[in-house]
């Protein structure tokens, strides 16, 4: 086995062993740029999109610096969703299981939707590392069950999503119980203005690392546009999914209601379909995530919660049943596929009302291929903009119709329609006369 390039960071031998076991040999850009500073205890802001390796970028320095002889919580990692917190916890477990028995590191997961009393019981002995959602962690601090007054590092993952979901107040309260000299690590896809005030409160001259993607989305994603053309949208989706025959496809809708409608419609067509949205109970969500990981579903219908808050492995296809109103979410959605240098396909079913959004995405550098699916067969379409580029020469029939049909002085509802009908009649008559005269 070749020597991993993580060796140069002088990590503990068990961490190098864990990295080799995970099959990582070369650090990603964000790991390369942040690890030296984080290992020195510096605070940092990492701005990067999903799938850049940020979880390992903060887990390695945190676990490296844990002193198991100190029976206190030394690091707290907060995440906006239960699923994301659980995934971070599982990643941490993959690293700490290699620690020598006499230096065993304890990590605990605390998330909403679980028995709080059982969580309090678990805290009779304080863990070295705490991972969880801000609300539950804050509750346990208020209950005086979790003690964070000697914490060295606080991580806020997906900070912009934390802001959107209203959790920054909980994070603020958690931070207020920690020492003044605190290493704070903030990771976010975007840094909105409202987040900047919060960061200034806790961070003095942090190291700022922005890993700008070379493209708005991964290089190996094929972006397809499929026109709706007044057809049944679920039927087109069904045809698409059959034609793709994906390893695992995730279909995005904008609302929970629409996600349920689409999932039910696909299920009625015989497709084994999972669903993920905010109305599922914690038990239901846990069950669905287990079914997904056990490859029981080939199709998942989800809202944008899954675009940012959940990491599902092996997604080969992303389908936008609806384009999101916030186009950042297009980037996050399609970022679910083509992870770790793999290739993937992102297909969008669009209508004329989506034209502005598509133009804005094209300005971000996304290049779409225009395709259609008819009776299970793919058809390549001409560029949707090609018609706009053509200059239409005014035809004599059009000119005559415009001259003869005038806007009425007193307009009534539907006058435009009537005018258009009159103009169409005149144009037809003019063209008929023109043909006779030839």
Same domain, 188 and 281: no
Q: What per-residue confidence (pLDDT) applies to 191? A: 81
The helices-and-strands tally (H runs, E runs) of the chain is 18, 15
Which among 167, 184, 210 is the end of a domain?
210
Would you state the pLDDT for residue 403? 61
Distance (Å, whole) CA 319 – CA 91 = 28
Domain co-membership, 353 together with 401: no
Is 216 within a domain? Answer: no
**One domain, residues 235 and 334:** yes
Please indicate, yes or no, if residue 215 is contained in any of the structural domains.
no
Per the confidence metrics, is the pTM higher than 0.75? no
Q: What is the dihedral of CA 431, 433, 435, 437, to 10 degrees?
A: -140
Q: Are residues 412 and 383 in the same domain?
A: no
Q: Are residues 171 and 232 in the same domain?
A: no
Kindly state whether residues 123 and 27 are assigned to the same domain.
Answer: yes
Tell me whether residue 169 is in a domain. Answer: yes
Sign of the C-alpha dihedral computed for residues 200, 76, 48 and 54 taken in this order: positive
pLDDT of residue 359: 84
Q: How far apart are CA 430 and CA 372, in angstroms?
A: 36
Structural domain that includes position 337: 221-387
Task: Give 242's contacts (C-beta < 8 A, 6+ positions apart).
Answer: 376
Residue where one domain finishes, among candidates 210, 238, 263: 210
State whether 369 and 404 are in the same domain: no
Q: Is residue 297 part of a domain?
A: yes
Instruction: Give Rg (Cα) of the chain.
Output: 28
Is the residue at 438 inside a domain? no
97 and 36 part of one domain: yes
Is 178 inside a domain boundary?
yes
Query: Does residue 353 lie within any of the structural domains?
Result: yes
Clarify whether residues 78 and 41 are in a common domain.
yes
Tell me: do 34 and 106 sit in the same domain.
yes
Say how many domains are in the chain.
3
The enclosing domain of 61 has a CATH number of 3.40.50.300
Q: What is the pLDDT along the chain (438 residues), one digit of tens a residue?
A: 456 688 888 899 999 999 988 878 888 888 999 999 999 999 999 887 666 788 999 999 999 999 999 989 999 999 988 878 988 999 999 999 999 998 899 999 999 877 888 889 889 999 999 999 999 999 999 999 999 999 999 999 988 888 878 898 999 999 999 998 899 999 987 787 888 888 888 787 788 887 765 444 555 788 999 999 989 999 999 999 999 999 899 999 988 899 999 999 999 999 989 998 877 777 887 888 888 888 899 999 988 766 566 667 788 899 999 998 767 678 778 877 765 556 789 999 999 888 878 887 887 778 899 999 888 888 888 877 654 544 444 555 666 656 666 666 565 666 667 777 777 777 667 666 655 554
Same domain, 171 and 69: yes
Q: Same domain, yes or no, for 363 and 423?
A: no
Please report whether residue 304 resides in a domain.
yes
Residue 58 DSSP SS3: helix
């Amino acid at each position: 086995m070749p020597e991993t390039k993580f060796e140069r960071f002088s990590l503990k031998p068990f961490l190098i062993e864990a990295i080799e076991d995970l099959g990582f040999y070369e650090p990603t850009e964000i790991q390369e740029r942040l690890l030296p500073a984080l290992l020195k205890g510096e605070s940092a802001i990492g701005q990067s999109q999903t799938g850049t390796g940020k979880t390992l970028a903060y887990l390695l320095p945190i676990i490296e610096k844990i002193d198991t002889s100190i029976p206190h919580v030394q690091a707290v990692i907060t995440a906006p969703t239960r699923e994301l917190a659980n995934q971070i916890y599982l990643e941490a477990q993959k690293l700490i299981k290699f620690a020598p028995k006499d230096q065993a590191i304890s990590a605990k997961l605390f998330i909403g939707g679980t028995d709080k009393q059982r969580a309090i019981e678990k805290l009779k002995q304080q863990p070295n590392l705490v991972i969880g959602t801000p609300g539950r962690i804050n509750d346990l601090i208020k209950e005086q069950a979790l003690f964070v007054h000697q914490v060295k590092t606080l991580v806020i993952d997906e900070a912009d999503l934390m802001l959107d979901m209203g959790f920054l107040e909980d994070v603020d309260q958690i931070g207020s119980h920690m020492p003044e000299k605190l290493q704070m690590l903030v990771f976010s896809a975007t840094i909105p203005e409202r987040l900047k005030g919060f960061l200034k409160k806790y961070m003095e001259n942090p190291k700022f690392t922005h890993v700008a993607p070379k493209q708005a989305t991964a290089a190996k994603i094929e972006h397809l546009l499929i026109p709706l053309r007044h057809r049944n949208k679920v039927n087109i989706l069904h045809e698409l999914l059959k034609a793709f025959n994906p390893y695992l496809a995730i279909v995005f809708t904008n609302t929970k209601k629409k996600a349920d409608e689409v999932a039910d419609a696909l299920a009625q067509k015989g497709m084994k379909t999972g669903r993920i949205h905010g109305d599922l109970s914690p038990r239901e969500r846990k069950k669905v995530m287990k079914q997904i990981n056990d490859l029981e579903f080939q199709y998942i219908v989800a809202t944008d919660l899954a675009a940012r808050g959940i990491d599902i492995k092996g997604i080969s296809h992303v389908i936008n049943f609806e384009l999101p109103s916030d186009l950042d979410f297009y980037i996050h959605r399609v970022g679910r596929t083509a992870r770790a240098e793999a290739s993937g396909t992102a297909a969008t079913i669009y209508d004329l009302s989506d034209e502005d959004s598509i133009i804005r995405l094209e300005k971000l550098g996304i290049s779409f291929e225009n395709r259609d699916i008819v009776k299970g067969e793919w058809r390549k379409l001409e560029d949707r903009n090609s018609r706009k580029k053509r200059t239409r020469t005014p035809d004599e029939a059009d000119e005559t119709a415009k001259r003869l049909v005038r806007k009425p002085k007193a307009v009534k509802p539907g006058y435009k329609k009537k005018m258009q009908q009159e103009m169409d009649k005149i144009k037809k008559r003019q063209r008929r006369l023109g043909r006779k005269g030839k």
